[in-house]
Structure 1
Amino acid sequence: MTTQPRVVIIGAGIVGCSLAEELTARGWTAVTVLDQGPLFATGGSTSHAPGLVFQTNSSKTMTEFARYTVEKFSGLTLDGQWCYQQVGGLEVATTSERWTDLHRKASWAASWGVEARLLDREECAARYPLLDRERVLGGFYVPTDGLAKAVRAAEAQARLAIARGATFVPNVKVIDVEQAGGRVTGVVTDSGRLDADIVVSCAGFWGPAVGAMVGQAVPLLPLAHQYVKTTPLAQLVGTIDEAAEAAGPILRHQDADLYFREHGDRIGIGSYAHRPMPVSLDELAPSANWPDAGKQPSMLAFTPEDFEPSWQDAVDLLPALAGTKVADGFNGIFSFTADGMPLLGESRHVKGFWLAEAVWVTHSAGVARAVAQWLVDGQPETDVHECDVNRFEDFQLAPDYVHERSCQNFVEIYDVMHPLQPMESPRPLRTSPFHGLQRDLGAYFLEGGGWERPHWFAANERLVDGFEIPGRNDWAARYWSPIAGAEAVHTRDKVALYDMTPLKRLEISGPGALGFLQWMTTNNLDKPVGAVVYTLLLDRSGGVRSDLTVARLADNRFQVGANSALDTDWLLRHAPTDGSVHIRDITGGTCCVGVWGPLARDLVQPLVDTDFSHKGFGYFKAKQAYLGNVPITALRLSYVGELGWEIYTSAEFGTRLWDTLWQAGQNLGVIAAGRSAFNSLRLEKGYRLSGVDMTTEHDPYESGLGFAVRMDAGDFLGRAALAGKSPDAVSSKLTALTIDSPDDVVLGKEAVYLGGLPAGYVTSAAYGYTIGKGIAYAWLPSEASTPGTAVEIDYLGKRVAAAVAEEPLFDPKMINIRR
C-alpha cells in the first residue's frame, strides 16, 4: 500500500462526512465518499435526526465521543448558519428512582469531565417555564448540551474535506466490494468501478447490506422511532428567532420515554414509549428515489395510535401542550445493536474493510476522529473496546439474537439500569456442565457473555448466622445477598468450589507458538513445561489491551486464559500466516472448577494421582493428572488469594469432576460459592479486571502491573512505547481506596473528589468481608495515591469518606496462597 491509501467511504451521512473531514485533516486526501441518495440530505437517519445532543453517558468512551462532537460542531458554520446551538440539556425526574439516577448521572459527568449540575424543581422551572413544576422532583443540567443541525454539519465538514482533495459522489448505488487475497481492492457501483485500498462502511441502517458484500456480519437492527411536531404554542409565538430555532434547553422526560426540543414556536417530541418497530431493508425504497417521491426512505408513515399514550404524558409534563395538537409526525428509522453500542473497526476476515456503523449524531464526530486515528495512526487515543465490531461471540451474531436484543435495547433505552442487571431473554444460552447441580443448590444466576453465572447459593443461607454481614441500601442490595458475604468468609476459613467455566480459554500450538506469544505479550514465556505466567497484551502505544494467564502444557502447546472475543481477534490478526501457529477457542468444550481455601489441599490431594504439595506443585505451575476417574489440567493459581487450583477438564467429564470434589469435601465443609464473593475476594487481593480497571488508555505501570513486564526478555508488541517509563514516573495511578461506612457500598464509575474537586473515578468496587471495609479501586493523580490520603466518593448524591490504602489489602506477604 502506498503512503497515500485510496479510501472509499460508503455513506455521506453525518458519520461519513465527519470521517472524510478527519481523514483529510490528517493528510489522507485520496478519499471518495459515495451515497445512493442526493447530497447532503441523503435519505438516511441523518436527514431526519432531531439533533439532540446529550453528552453524559455511563460509558466513558461514549461521553468522550459526544463531548468531541460538541466541541467540533460548535466551531462549524455553513454559509453563515450555525451547526450547533449550546442551548443546554435538562433531564427531569418525576419519580424518586429517577431522581436518584440523576444523581448517578451527575457523578458520571464529574468522572468524565463534563460540566453539569443538579437543579431543584424551581430551578428546573426557571430554565424551562413550560414544565409543571409540581410533577418535577429535580433535574440534571448540562450547559454545553444542545442541538446539532445534522445535515448542515455534514455538509460543512464535507466542504472542508473537498477543499483538501476529497470527492463526494451522489446518486450511485454500491453493487459490490471487490477483494483479492483477503483484502479489499475496489468498489463497484452502478456507474462504474473505483480502486480502493480501504473501504469504510458508514451506511447507517443500510450497513448490513454493505457488510454482506464481503461476508462481514453487521449486527444491527433498523428500528422506527416516533417523532412529532405540534401546532404553534401560544407561549412561544414571537419569542424565538426563526433562524435560531430554539431558546430553551433540550429536555428529556425519561420516566415517560420522551424528549423535547423547540422548533420556533412549535415543540418537537420524540418517543421511545411505543412498541418496537423493526424494519426490513427489503421494504424500503432506494434513497436515490426519495427527492422525486417526496419522502425519505428513512421516514415511514406515522402511526398515531402508537403515540396516543405519549401525547398524554407530554401534556402532563408540559400542560401548555393541551392547547395544541400534533401537526405532523413520522416514524424515523435508526440503527440499534444488541448491546446499544456502535460497530467500529476493521473486519478480521477482509483486510481494509472497516465499519463505522450504528452511530448517532450525538457521537458522530467523536467516532469519526477515533476511526481516523485508527486508520492513520494504527489505533485511536480513546479506548474503544466497547465499540469494536469484533467484540461479539458467535452466538451474538445470530439474526434472532440481534433482533431480540436490539428490540429490547429500544424498550430499555431510557430505563434506570442497575450495573448488574442482566438480560432476561434469550436465556439460558450458555451453561456449564455444573448448571444443574448449581440449580439444585439454589444458585442465583446472573448473565454475562451469554453464560449463566451463579452469584450466590441459597443452600449457604445457613452460614449467614455465623458471620456479621453488613446490610446495604436499596440500590446496592439489588442483585446481592448477605449469603455472598458468608461465602467469601467461608472461602477464607475453609474451602469452596467456584465455577470458572465462563473464562475464555484458548489453545495456542504449533512450532511457532512460543515465538509468537513472546512477541505478543510482555512477560517471559520461555519457561519449562508446567510453568504458568501472568502476562499482558499491549497495543503499539503501550496501552493494556488485556491480561492473560499462559500455561505451557507441552513444548509447542499453551493454554491461554483470556478475557473476551477481542483477545481472540487480536491474536488471530497477528498470527503468522505460514501455518506455524494454531489458535483454537476451547472454552465451550472444556470446564473449570476453582478449588480455593485453606483446606483446598486436604480436599484435592487424596483424589489425585500425583503430588499436590507446595513443594511438589508450586505456585504458578501446571500439572496434568487424574482426579478420580477424570483427566484434568490443574493450574496452581488463585484469584481469590487463597491456596488452591483452577482444575480443568473436557465438558463431558464436568459433572463427574464436580460430584467427585463435592462428595469428598463434605467432611471438610465444602460449599459452592458465587461470583459476588469472588469479586470481593479478588479486590481484597488487588487483582485487576481487564476492560474495567485498565484499558488501552493505561500503561502497565499506571495500572500497577509493571511486574508482568520483562523489558530484558526480548522485543514484544508495545515494548518501544514503554521505554523510559516506570512505576515512579506515572501521572495517574490505579489506586486502592477503603471506605469505613459499611452502608455505602459503591458499585463503579462514581466520581472521586480530592480537596472538594473531581480528581478521578471508581473502576471496581465491593465490600471486603475479610477486612471489614468497603473497597473501591479508582484512577487518581499519582500525587494523590499516597496511603492515608483522604478522598470522597460521590455516591447517589452524597459524599462518602474514603482513604487511599496500601495494596494488597489482604495477605500482602502471600502466605495464604503459598501454603
Structure 2
Amino acid sequence: MTQHARVVVIGGGVVGTSALYHLAKLGWKDCILIERDELASGSTWHAAGNVPTFSGSWNIMKMQAYSARLYKTLGEEVDYPMNYHITGSIRLAHSKARMEEFAHACAMAKAQGLDYDMLTPAEIKAKYPVMEMDGIVGGLWDAHDGDIDPSQLTQALAKGAKDMGAKVLRFNGVTSIKQLPSGEWKITTKDGAEFVAEKVINAAGYRAGEVAAMVGQYLPIIAMQHQYLITEMIPELAARDEKLPLVRDPDVSYYLRQERDGLILGPYEWNCKSDWHDGIPEEFAFQLWPDDLDRLESYIEQAVARVPVLGTVGVQKVINGPIPYSPDGNPYIGPQHGLTNFYNANCFSFGICQGGGAGKTIAEYIVHGEPEWDLWGLDHRRYTVFADQKYTIEKAEELYQNEYAIGFPNEERPAGRPRLKTPLYEKLLAKGAVMGARGGWERAAYFPRNPEEAKTKLSFHRAEQAWFEPVREECQAVAERVGIMDLGGFSKFIVEGPGAEKWLDHLICGALPKSNRVTLAYTLTPKGSILSEFTMTRLAPDKFYLMSAGSGLWHDMDWLTQHLPADGSVKLTEVSQSASSLVLVGPRSRDVLKKISAADFSNNAFPWPSCQQIEVAGRKVTALRVNYVGELGWELHVPMEDLVHVYDAVVDAGQEFGIRDFGMYAMECLRLEKGYRSWKQDITHEYTPFDAGLERFVKLGKGDFIGRDALVKRHEAGEKERFVPLIVEGNTADAPTCSIVFKDGEKVGIVGSGGWGFRIGKSIALSYVRLDLAAVGTKLEVEILGQRFPAVVAEEPIFDPKNERLKG
C-alpha cells in the first residue's frame, strides 16, 4: 500500500530530525522521516557535541545562535530531558592577527545580541586556572558555547515532531527515488514500502551522495576521519564545583573541553585523511575506524603543555569517526540543481551546532519558498561540473588542515586547481599572474612586478599585503592609459523565440533593453526580494543575451528553466563556456580598438551602453560598451577558439598607449568607487531593489512580474534601510564584509563590501544603513577589527558621479 506525505525526509540524524520538527512547527505535519538504521546512527552519534555560535559568516552565526537558543528550551518543550551544558568558551590567540579576527567576530556577535567579549591573558587565566599562558596575547569569550548529548538531541527533535503528527520510520533504508509525471516523488524502501511525496529532503549525512545518485545527481561530498580522545578522570577537575569552559586553540588547531571529570581533546591535524573514495560500506552504522593517534602526537604534546593536567592521566577512549565534508567545509542546504521539489540538508561537518538552524532553514524553503536568511554560501549549486571527486577530496583535505586558519582577505588556496580555465591561462601565468578561482574558473588576481613578490603575505592591513602595490599600478593604468583583463566564467544564456520578450518582461522587475542596447535587470523572489542580477542585451527583436555571476550558473539556470513557458515559445541555451570576456578599459581603449578593427567606436556610432557584432583582428566578437570598473571601455565577448589571437592583437596594438594587464583585485577596487553591487555580497534575497538603491531598475507600472505585488506592499510600508557608500577615514585595514556601522554608539548598519579606492585614495565601505541616516554627508562610524573609525555617507557613485568617463 502506497503512503502519501507532503514531505519525505531521508536521514535520521540531528539535521533530518530538525527538518521534520521544524516542518511540523510550521504546520506541515503530514511528513515522514525514513532512516536506514537507528536515529543518530551516522555522524551524529559519535559527534563531540560542541555547540559554538562563533563564525566568520554573519548568517552562519545567526544559524548557530538559533540552534543554541532552541536547545535551551527544547527538552522542556517536548518533555525529553537532555544533557546540555552551557559553559562558555575561550578561543586563544597567539598573534595580533588572530586577535583582529576575534574582534571582527565579536562585533558581529554583539550586533546580533550575543554575549561575546575580548579577553586579556589575565582574564583567561581567571576563567581557566589550570592553563599555562605562555605565548598567549589574548582571547575571545563566547558565553553561549557549551556541549550537548547528540543522541539525546536527535531523539528530542524526533519526539517533538511525532507529538505534532509527523512520522518516523526506522531500520528501513531507501532503495529507489523516482519523480512522477505529476512532479511528486515515489520513494521505495528496503522492505518494499512505497511513499509518494510532494517534496523530498536529502538529509542523509555522509550517505547523502548515495541518495543524490538515486536521482541521477552527483553531490561533492567526502568523509574525513576526525579523531578525538577522552581522558580518564582528572582529580583537579573532580574537585571543582563548575565545569571548565570549552577551549579552542586555533593557532595550534584543537579544541579541549571537560567531559564529566575528564577532558576531550580534538585536533584538526595537518596529516589528515579522507576515506571511502570507492563507496561506503553497506552496513556501516554506529561504527568507528581504528584509532591513529600517531597523527595527533604533536597536537597532544602542545595541548598538554598548555593544560598540564591533561598529561597527568591516561586515555580512556579514542573516537575516530566519519564526518562529511564539502570542498569548502560548509554544508548543503537548499534546492537540488536540475530537479524540482528535491532539497538538500546534508554534508554537515559541524552538524550539532548547525542542526537547529539548518532544520529551520530547509523547512522555510519548503513552506515559504525562501528562508529568512540568505544562505547562498551553503547552497550546493555553488559547485558545478568542476567539483568532481578528485577536486572534492583535495579541497576537503586542504580545508580540514586549515579548519581554524585565520580568514585573511584574498587568500588563494591551491588544492584541486586549476579546474576551469580559458585558453589564456598559460599565457597569463607566463606573465607572472597570481591566479584565483571563482566559481571554478581561474582568473588573474593581480600581476606582481616581480614573481617573488607573489609569495603569500597575508594580513588584514592593506599596505602589508603583497598585492597592494601591484594593484595600485594596475588601477593607475586603467585610469590613465588602458588595461586589459581576461574575465572568463560569467554565466551566459541565450534566450530567443517568439515568446522571449513577453517571458523575460514577466521575469524581471524593470524594463527590457531596446535593440542592441544593454541594461542591468533584476529577478525577484515571490516575496519581492532580489534573487539575481543579469546584464541583459537585446541582440534582435526576439533574441536576448543574458550574463550573470559565474558562481551563480546553476542557481540562475534552475530559475530560468523552471519558469520556461510550456508552449515552446522560448528557447533557453546556456553558453557559459563558449566564450570569454576581454575587458578593455581606460581613456586610450578606443584608440587601441581603432588600430585593429574597422568598426566605428565613436559615441554617436557606439554609445554607452550598447552592443554590436564587430570584427577585431579579423575575428568576429560581440562587443558591449559596458564594464565593471567605471571607465571608457568595452567587453569583447570572444569565442574561446579565437581568444588568444584577439588578446595578442589587442596587447600588440596597445603597446604604444602603455597597455597593462590587470586582475580581479584591481577590478574590485575600481568597482567599489562606482558603487557597483556584488551579487550575494551587496545584494541578497534579504533586500528589495528599493533597499539596495536600485529603484531605477524597477518599473512598477509596466504590468505584472514575479514578486511585484509583494514588492509594492513592502515599498508602500516603507524601507527601513538604504544602501549607501561610506568613506572611512584613518583605517589601515579596510572594512571586512559584515563590519558594523554605528551612530552615537548604536548599531545602525552593516557593511556589504569594503576596500581601497586607488583613484580617490580613500577607504570605501558599501553599506546598508538606517534610512534616516542615509543622506549624503551623514557622519557615522565603522568598526573594523575592534576599532571604530569615522565615516561619512558619500554621493553615489563616489568616483565620476556623472559617468563622464564611461561616456567619454
Give your verdict on TM over 0.5.
Answer: yes
Give the structure 2 partner of residue 616 of structure 1: 605
Q: Give yes or no for contact 2:408–2:460 (8 Å, CA) kept in 1.
A: no
Measured in 2, the distance between the counterparts of 1:133 and 1:158 equals 44
C-alpha displacement of 1:725? 4.7
Measured in 2, the distance between the counterparts of 1:417 and 1:195 equals 45
SS of the residue 1:794 aligns to: strand
How has the CA–CA distance of structure 1 residues 813 and 181 changed in structure 2, closer, same or farther, with 3 Å as cutoff? same
The sequence identity of aligned pairs, in percent, is 28
Give the structure 1 partner of residue 424 of structure 2: 434
Unaligned stretches of 5+ in structure 1? 241-245, 291-295, 462-470
Of 648, 662, 665, which residue of structure 2 is paired with 1:676? 665
Of 397, 415, 419, which residue of structure 1 is paired with 2:409? 419
* Most deviating of 761-770 and 15-24: 761-770
C-alpha displacement of 1:162? 1.0
Q: Does structure 1 residue 259 correspond to structure 2 residue 255?
A: yes
- The alignment's C-alpha RMSD in Å is 2.4
Q: Give yes or no for contact 1:501–1:592 (8 Å, CA) kept in 2.
A: yes
Of 720, 729, 752, which residue of structure 1 is paired with 2:741? 752
Give the structure 2 partner of residue 490 of structure 1: 477
Measured in 2, the distance between the counterparts of 1:197 and 1:71 equals 31
Write out aligned runs for 1:330-369 (5 A). Answer: 330-359=319-348, 360-369=351-360
Measured in 1, the distance between the counterparts of 2:47 and 2:450 equals 53
Measured in 2, the distance between the counterparts of 1:624 and 1:589 equals 16
Measured in 2, the distance between the counterparts of 1:119 and 1:799 equals 18
Q: Letter of the 1:340 partner, please give it.
A: G
Unaligned stretches of 5+ in structure 2? 452-457
Give the structure 1 partner of residue 528 of structure 2: 542
Q: Give yes or no for contact 2:222–2:326 (8 Å, CA) kept in 1.
A: yes
Measured in 2, the distance between the counterparts of 1:640 and 1:455 equals 15
Q: Letter of the 1:644 partner, please give it.
A: G
Measured in 2, the distance between the counterparts of 1:540 and 1:773 equals 39
Give the structure 2 partner of residue 107 of structure 1: 107
Q: Does structure 1 residue 121 correspond to structure 2 residue 121?
A: yes
C-alpha displacement of 1:793? 2.4
For residues 456-508 of structure 1, give each alpha carbon's deviation from its aligned partner in whole angstroms, at most 9, with x where no partner exists: 324699xxxxxxxxx99756633523121122122222222222223222222
Measured in 2, the distance between the counterparts of 1:629 and 1:765 equals 41
Give the structure 1 partner of residue 45 of structure 2: 47
Give the structure 2 partner of residue 530 of structure 1: 516
Of 541, 561, 566, which residue of structure 1 is paired with 2:547? 561
Measured in 2, the distance between the counterparts of 1:283 and 1:547 equals 39
C-alpha displacement of 1:383? 0.6
Give the structure 2 partner of residue 85 of structure 1: 85
Q: Give yes or no for contact 1:383–1:697 (8 Å, CA) kept in 2.
A: yes
Q: Does structure 1 residue 378 correspond to structure 2 residue 369?
A: yes
For residues 320-376 of structure 1, give each alpha carbon's deviation from its aligned partner in whole angstroms, at most 9, with x where no partner exists: 112112111120211110122111223343333221101311111111111111111
Write out aligned runs for 1:266-665 (5 A). Answer: 266-273=262-269, 275-280=271-276, 296-297=286-287, 299-359=288-348, 360-396=351-387, 398-458=388-448, 474=461, 477-525=464-512, 527-563=513-549, 564-565=552-553, 566-665=555-654
SS of the residue 1:321 aligns to: helix
Measured in 1, the distance between the counterparts of 2:737 and 2:368 equals 32
Give the structure 1 partner of residue 455 of structure 2: none
- What is the TM-score with the length of structure 1 in the denominator? 0.92
Give the structure 2 partner of residue 174 of structure 1: 174
For residues 726-780 of structure 1, give each alpha carbon's deviation from its aligned partner in whole angstroms, at most 9, with x where no partner exists: 5993211222111233634334332222212333322212211221211111222
Q: Letter of the 2:435 partner, please give it.
A: F
C-alpha displacement of 1:708? 0.9
Measured in 1, the distance between the counterparts of 2:477 and 2:731 equals 20
Give the structure 2 partner of residue 154 of structure 1: 154
Write out aligned runs for 1:176-191 (5 A). Answer: 176-181=176-181, 183-191=183-191
Write out aligned runs for 1:715-726 (5 A). Answer: 715-726=704-715
Give the structure 2 partner of residue 468 of structure 1: none
How has the CA–CA distance of structure 1 residues 543 and 752 changed in structure 2, closer, same or farther, with 3 Å as cutoff? same
Q: Does structure 1 residue 666 correspond to structure 2 residue 655?
A: yes
How has the CA–CA distance of structure 1 residues 786 and 16 changed in structure 2, closer, same or farther, with 3 Å as cutoff? same
Give the structure 2 partner of residue 712 of structure 1: 701
Q: Give yes or no for contact 1:227–1:332 (8 Å, CA) kept in 2.
A: no
How has the CA–CA distance of structure 1 residues 301 and 442 changed in structure 2, closer, same or farther, with 3 Å as cutoff? closer
How has the CA–CA distance of structure 1 residues 83 and 21 changed in structure 2, closer, same or farther, with 3 Å as cutoff? farther
How has the CA–CA distance of structure 1 residues 281 and 174 changed in structure 2, closer, same or farther, with 3 Å as cutoff? farther
Give the structure 2 partner of residue 198 of structure 1: 199
Give the structure 2 partner of residue 466 of structure 1: none
Q: Give yes or no for contact 2:230–2:264 (8 Å, CA) kept in 1.
A: yes
4+ runs deviating over 6 angstroms:
none
Q: Letter of the 1:273 partner, please give it.
A: E
Q: Give yes or no for contact 2:221–2:326 (8 Å, CA) kept in 1.
A: yes
- What is the TM-score with the length of structure 2 in the denominator? 0.93
Measured in 2, the distance between the counterparts of 1:796 and 1:404 equals 32
For residues 542-593 of structure 1, give each alpha carbon's deviation from its aligned partner in whole angstroms, at most 9, with x where no partner exists: 1112211111112222111111222222222222344333322322221211
Q: Letter of the 1:197 partner, please give it.
A: E
SS of the residue 1:236 aligns to: helix
Measured in 1, the distance between the counterparts of 2:206 and 2:151 equals 17
C-alpha displacement of 1:285? 5.5
Q: Give yes or no for contact 1:57–1:108 (8 Å, CA) kept in 2.
A: no
* Most deviating of 681-690 and 556-565: 556-565
Q: Letter of the 1:230 partner, please give it.
A: T
* Most deviating of 608-617 and 92-101: 92-101
Q: Give yes or no for contact 1:635–1:646 (8 Å, CA) kept in 2.
A: yes
SS of the residue 1:235 aligns to: helix
Q: Does structure 1 residue 737 correspond to structure 2 residue 726?
A: yes
Q: Letter of the 2:46 partner, please give it.
A: H
C-alpha displacement of 1:651? 0.9
C-alpha displacement of 1:788? 2.5
Q: Letter of the 1:534 partner, please give it.
A: L
Q: Letter of the 2:373 partner, please give it.
A: T
Q: Give yes or no for contact 1:519–1:716 (8 Å, CA) kept in 2.
A: yes
Q: Give yes or no for contact 2:462–2:468 (8 Å, CA) kept in 1.
A: no
C-alpha displacement of 1:703? 0.8
How has the CA–CA distance of structure 1 residues 248 and 779 changed in structure 2, closer, same or farther, with 3 Å as cutoff? farther
How has the CA–CA distance of structure 1 residues 593 and 28 changed in structure 2, closer, same or farther, with 3 Å as cutoff? same
How has the CA–CA distance of structure 1 residues 231 and 725 changed in structure 2, closer, same or farther, with 3 Å as cutoff? closer
* Most deviating of 366-375 and 724-733: 724-733
Measured in 2, the distance between the counterparts of 1:485 and 1:727 equals 44
SS of the residue 2:225 aligns to: strand
Give the structure 2 partner of residue 243 of structure 1: none
Q: Give yes or no for contact 1:706–1:727 (8 Å, CA) kept in 2.
A: no
C-alpha displacement of 1:185? 2.8
Q: Does structure 1 residue 780 correspond to structure 2 residue 756?
A: no
Aligned length: 791
Measured in 1, the distance between the counterparts of 2:339 and 2:785 equals 46
Q: Give yes or no for contact 1:622–1:634 (8 Å, CA) kept in 2.
A: yes
